[in-house]
Structure 1
Amino acid sequence: MDGTNRRGFLASAAALAAVGPAAAQARGRTLIRNVEVLVGDAAGTEHRGVDVLIDSGKVAAIGKALPAAGGRVVEGRGRILMPGMVCGHRHNWMYLGAGATYADFYAWQLKLMPSATAEDQALASYFGGLAAIHAGVTTIVDQAHAHQTPDRVMAAAEGHLKSGVGGWFNLQLGQASAIRPGQTLSRKEAFTQRQNRAQPRDWDSIAKLKAMFAGTNVAAGCATSPGCYGRDVRAIAAEEIGPARAAGLGLITVHTGVRAPGAPRGAFGHRNCGILDLDDAGLLTREMHFSHAVELDDAEIAAMARTGAKLCTTPFEDADTGPRSPRIAPSFARADLGGVAAGLGVDSTGAHTQDFFEIARNARSTLAADPVSFDALGRWDAAKMLSFTTERGAEAVGLGHDRGKVAPGYRADLVLLASDEPFFPQQGSLAHRVLNYATRAHVDSVWVGGTLRKSGGAMEGADIAALAARLRAAQRRVARDMATISFT
């Protein structure tokens, strides 16, 4: 991105942040006429042959023969209208390495971070937000954990905002390595730099992120540092979770898996996924959002349910990461059965499908991997399973009060599917048809907060082919710079 494009990119993102919801979300009136509404709740509620009125960024009414009252009219042609989906865990920066293969992810990440410029991070985040909308995902939790310097953080946030996708931009604390292209250093030294703790500059960045996102459909959150695993929970409280709460952050994400080897009592990861360690210190609250937690046990589920803590499963990733148990199963089903709000996520945007319908189908298939989840598989219908991407998915990122359903008063985050194409089945419940047959290719139109972002299968206001060409050029340059960094 040259200087002129960079200035224009930043100016447009800044303008979007400054004007607030009234202008940024196009608060006009739209009538979507003659649709089959899949509400998105676990009960599979449907409204057949109805109109949906959007006004001031929200669903204003659902009913027969609603008046347009001078607004725009979209002919639904009997197609399925469903809520925009919610992805609870993804890394948009990974578009800079999409398709790359690596034997050691963390070594690859440590090399990519200094090789990607602020302009690269802005482009990847912008493209990633558009890719989510293109797939019918209107709310994301972007786990920003490869942004080496504050200017890279802010550039990525600007890209997220410019894309129009809603949700959370969660900055991982402590990403402050000093590695540079052309450098050779020992693997031990490189990985020591990865284990950083929260830095004062992190809180400066978060303050700026909050100001940037004020009045928009994006909020600032944070993720605990790579160095927190195995540390005394009192230090984590003082340096990370306590300041995050003081900053008013509504979502604090934690990557967790299994017990940290050798972690003493009172350290995060001493017991299983570390959730009880945090609970003992009073750190388990409704803002806490855990990713993966493949080995989640009954005591941890009970603690999460009691405190309102949340979970996101990334089924393509988590099905491969159960390191010590023959039950290698994502934990969302066990969590949900125990009263924990659980959702689904893509995780690696560079390695896994961006088709969120496929993510839901894959999540269902993983339920057969352990007895408790298998029992859920036998009792859950398509509507329940799909709700992990809609109503339940929104609850799992702390946003269930205003999205995840097609209902009056909820945000007009809507997806119109081309369900009238010849090979799309016309029998069965709407939830059954969507879960089992819909793909990203069926996403015809998408509204985010009432703004039409995709129409007739094409993105609105974005030259995707040109952006893809720029991204591929950035990927090649980043890969070349990464190749100059050696860990011995």
Structure 2
Amino acid sequence: MRILFKGPTIVTMDSQEAIIKGNVLVENNRIAYIGSNEPTADRVILAEGKLLIPGLIQTHVHLSQTLFRGQADDLELLDWLKKRIWPLEGAHDEESLYQSALLGISELLLGGTTTLVDMQTVHHTDAAIHAIAESGIRATTGKVMMDHGEEVPGTLIQSTNDAIQESVDLLEKWHGKENGRIQYAFTPRFVVSCTEDLLKEVVKLSSKYGVRVHTHASENKGEIEIVERERGMRNVLYLDHIGMAAPNLILTHCIWLNDQEMEILQKRDVKVAHCPTCNIKLASGIAPIPEMLKRGITVSLGADGAPCNNNLDIFQEMKMAALIQKPLHGPTVMPAREVFKLATLGGARAMGLENDIGSIEVGKKADLVLISLDEPHVNPVDGVDPYSLLVYSVRSSDVCLTMVDGKILMENRELKTIDKDAVVKKSNISRVRLDKLTK
């Protein structure tokens, strides 16, 4: 199948960060041509006056929590987990987790996110990965590992051996499936809920299988105090001590870091997932992203979960990432071009997929998003920097086409692989069922 995007303004994010007006040919699942010529195609998409951008990438999302949107407002992290999120996650069954994943994926595809790093919950992860496979979205995902911690409900805590064995079983079933579109990662929740034995085994297994590790760290001052009390050192120092701080680690949040920890992230090439809206909503703080970028640390963006955001909108995350730093560091910090890079190449590098996604270049995977510029809230557009439009003006509702691996998954606000109305209905039924089990 050859699909031609005719006449868009192409925000390439290539090595020159070129923005050109031209045509883009997709053949099968890769970009075959970029330029002014008009190759023959099976289908031509008229894209004059629109922006064609690389598929947007979120490196920290909890699809398992989409059903809990609006269920845990006005709480700080540890209370948020203990009082609402952990009991709700523990109540999940296969059907509710499947619907939660489909609901989240629907929102992501409608909003131009083509790739995500997903942290599931402890049980029924297979059902969520089935939803990922069916939807066509690109994802690195894994089951949450929890074998320790005060006030962790019995519905979530596992033995160390069970947590490890179930993770390995899922990895061997799913890693590399769907033409490589699905990747597996080991996802210990955070140090507070994991024994040292489990974390050290994750380090060994991630090296053995050549996969990512995805966890939280230094999100909340109370969390750090627990880690210091139990392990004798701060989060990042501890992760380095046990060998987890490495290039394959995606470390989410990293708000409260000292200079020594920042140096470890830089030296070990740890990747940081920044979730600005969540960090503000849970009153956790503002991550030192400008300092990380100055040090050359790879930073990417994520919405986190629906109950701490309360949406999965990457455009909101880009805007928030830019705005929250300016009162602290001045108006020139976090310019729109740099922020857009976090949502594209930054995410690709975090996942180790920079040779395949994150920019529009010949030979790369055809993960593409088409943006309409017709609405009043975007205009005027003539003479305006496209990066400024994308970070400050465009909304997720302006996305008119989402393509992953050369397949159109959303066009003209219609999902092609998901029955949106059915998912919305079934998700509400599942949510009510979980509420009854936790109240």
Say yes or no: does 1:39 pair with 2:12. yes
Q: How does 1:142-291 map to 2 (within 5 A)?
A: 142-144=118-120, 146-148=121-123, 152-174=124-146, 198-216=160-178, 217-226=181-190, 228-229=191-192, 235-257=197-219, 258=221, 260-261=224-225, 263=227, 268=231, 270-271=233-234, 274-291=235-252
Asked whether the 8 Å contact 2:58–2:302 carries over to 1, the reply is: yes
State which of 65, 82, 103 in structure 2 corresponds to 1:94: 65
Equivalent residue letter for 1:56: N
Does the residue aligned with 2:122 lie in a helix, a strand or coil? coil
Unaligned runs of 5+ in 1: 1-27, 178-187, 484-488
State which of 129, 132, 157 in structure 1 corresponds to 2:105: 129
Distance 1:30 1:174, change over 3 A: same
Asked whether the 8 Å contact 2:148–2:157 carries over to 1, the reply is: no
State which of 330, 343, 354 in structure 1 corresponds to 2:312: 354
2:48 aligned partner: 77
Equivalent residue letter for 2:122: H
Deviates more, 1:456-465 or 1:470-479: 456-465
Asked whether the 8 Å contact 2:54–2:360 carries over to 1, the reply is: yes
State which of 430, 434, 439 in structure 2 corresponds to 1:478: 434
1:19 aligned partner: none
1:105 aligned partner: 80
Deviates more, 1:132-141 or 1:203-212: 203-212
1:336-393 Cα shifts (integer Å, max 9, x gaps): 11111001110122342332111110111111354xxx15x51543211211111122
2:287 aligned partner: 330
Asked whether the 8 Å contact 1:41–1:383 carries over to 2, the reply is: no
Cα distance in structure 2, aligned partners of 1:222 and 1:131? 25
Deviates more, 1:109-118 or 1:314-323: 314-323
Does the residue aligned with 1:276 lie in a helix, a strand or coil? helix
Distance 1:100 1:42, change over 3 A: farther
Q: How does 1:45-64 map to 2 (within 5 A)?
A: 45-48=18-21, 50-64=22-36
Equivalent residue letter for 1:105: W
Say yes or no: does 1:343 pair with 2:304. no
Cα distance in structure 2, aligned partners of 1:127 and 1:263? 34
1:15 aligned partner: none
2:326 aligned partner: 368
Asked whether the 8 Å contact 2:64–2:89 carries over to 1, the reply is: no
Asked whether the 8 Å contact 2:72–2:84 carries over to 1, the reply is: no
Does the residue aligned with 1:390 lie in a helix, a strand or coil? helix
- Identical pairs, percent: 19
Distance 1:41 1:338, change over 3 A: farther
State which of 411, 415, 430 in structure 1 corresponds to 2:365: 411
State which of 276, 279, 284 in structure 2 corresponds to 1:318: 279
Deviates more, 1:419-428 or 1:334-343: 419-428
1:460 aligned partner: 416
Does the residue aligned with 1:131 lie in a helix, a strand or coil? helix
Distance 1:318 1:278, change over 3 A: same
1:17 aligned partner: none
Q: Which has the larger radius of gyration?
A: 1
Cα distance in structure 1, aligned partners of 2:338 and 2:14? 7
Cα distance in structure 2, aligned partners of 1:71 and 1:423? 34
Cα distance in structure 2, aligned partners of 1:176 and 1:407? 45
Equivalent residue letter for 2:429: A
Q: Post-superposition shift, 1:424?
A: 2.6
Equivalent residue letter for 2:85: Q
Give the TM-score normalised by structure 2: 0.89
Distance 1:197 1:239, change over 3 A: farther
Unaligned runs of 5+ in 2: none
Cα distance in structure 2, aligned partners of 1:41 and 1:435? 18
Cα distance in structure 1, aligned partners of 2:237 and 2:91? 38
Equivalent residue letter for 2:367: D
Distance 1:142 1:105, change over 3 A: same
Equivalent residue letter for 1:153: T
Distance 1:264 1:441, change over 3 A: closer
Count of residues in Structure 1 that have an aligned counterpart in Structure 2: 427
